[in-house]
Copies of this chain bind each other. A is one copy, B any other.
Amino acid sequence: MREVYVIGVGMTRFGKYPDLWVEDLGREACIAALKDAALSPKEIQAGYCGTSNTGRITGQRILKEVGITGIEITNVENACTGGSTAFRQGYIAVGCGLYDCAIILGVDKMYGSGGLIPPNLEDLEGILGRTLPGRYAMAARRHMYEFGTTLEQLALISVKNHRNGVLNPYAQFQKECSLEEVLSSRMVAEPLTLLQCCPVGDGAAALILGSKKMSKRNPKHAIRIGATTVLSGEFQTTSTDLTKGNQVIKAANMAYEQFGGGPQDIDICELHDAFTIGELIHYENLGFCPKGEGGRFIEERKSEIGGEVAVNPSGGLLSRGHPLGATGVAQFVEVVWQLRGEAGKRQVPGAKVGMTQTVGGATSEIGPASCSVNILYR
């Protein structure tokens, strides 16, 4: 693979937009990314759209609105990993020399469309209640039992991410919440309260990938890709330990190997905090702290802006929001802003290496169905 760069980014504010079409959201994000890259729509040679909930040929419907037509366009679905998977496909196409310039789009409208990820009809355990909140809640209870993780430690993750979200004009929630508010909010799946679960929302994010040649138009603007991975389909039955993600660990190791570095090199990380326990376990999966010490890691403020690794400076899924297909792309957008030093009030000083991580979907037998770990650097 040759060098590939992110040369432009853009996104909508995430939120509830009952009066907007998918096309409206996607168009706004794509125009922002094109403008940021200072490219004409005619220069885009391929498009990849990650989405779950927006009907057929979503990428074509959106890209025609910005004048991008007559090229190879592929819609990608991988549940919450959809945006990251679209990125991976675009990375391969540009990296192998097929194209010099591709647009990656992530978009979803969850509000008013049922919102959640329903279990498949043939998934008996899912129908009986083993949905995502239930699975995460079991993981939380097990982590508390095994490692003494506390309710307060879990809740601190929500406090941190809501605090970061206040600094992000693109976040769905821009309101701080206290430890007490998190703990006393409505119980969703014991021990996870409402403010420990990501919201339902809509939004779009877009970015433009370019070859080295393309990156030279504005070298200070371009952020290089150090690693991309998509990994799928670990059997739940071969991973009965709810407190770790074998697949995420494997993907992280693949990413570190591609990049030629390790967890100590990561300055910022946008990771999959669909529920607070998710972020806590991913500290361990990604190697930011040893297994079992995720609770202490947040308590000692090591994942804050200014800590060892700034985790979810954007506010994460908990505060920036989580329109499924858009999330993976929005993570890249945030990392690019951070690495360029353009993240405003939430800027992580001197950030040079950033990671994104998503996990997507789960059936009673697969968990997670899909995950992705990626590294960008300048």
Contact = CB atoms under 8 A, between A and B. Distances in A.
A77 interface: yes
A75 B76 CA distance: 6
A71 interface: yes
Interface string A22-59: 01000000000000000000000001000010011111
A188 interface: no
Contact of A369 (B57, B92, B120, B233): B57
* Chain copies in the assembled complex: 2
B232 A60 contact: yes
Interface string A58-94: 1111011000111111111111000001001100110
A75 B77 contact: yes
A92 B1 CA distance: 12
A234 to B, nearest CB: 6
A250 interface: yes
B78 A57 contact: yes
A111 interface: no
Given A74-B85, A78-B74, A92-B98, A60 B370 contact: yes
A56 B79 contact: yes
Nearest to A97: B96
A71 B233 contact: yes
Given A52-B56, A96-B92, A122-B23, A230 B117 contact: no
A125 to B, nearest CB: 14
A247 interface: yes
A231 interface: yes
A32 to B, nearest CB: 20
A372 to B, nearest CB: 9
A144 interface: no
A96 to B, nearest CB: 3
A360 interface: yes
A361 interface: yes
A61 B235 contact: no
B70 A232 contact: yes
B96 A74 contact: no
A363 interface: yes
A366 interface: yes
Nearest to A65: B365
A21 interface: yes
A247 B230 CA distance: 31
A117 B55 CA distance: 10
A77 B56 contact: yes
A373 to B, nearest CB: 12
Contacts of A95: 96
A73 B76 CA distance: 11
Given A77-B77, A79-B56, A89-B89, A61 B366 contact: yes
29 contacts: A1-B96, A1-B98, A55-B120, A56-B361, A57-B78, A57-B79, A57-B360, A57-B361, A60-B361, A60-B363, A60-B369, A60-B370, A61-B363, A61-B369, A64-B366, A69-B232, A69-B235, A69-B366, A71-B233, A72-B230, A72-B232, A73-B370, A74-B88, A75-B78, A89-B89, A92-B93, A92-B96, A92-B98, A95-B96
- 4 nearest A-B pairs in the assembled complex, by CB-CB distance: A96-B96, A73-B232, A69-B233, A57-B361
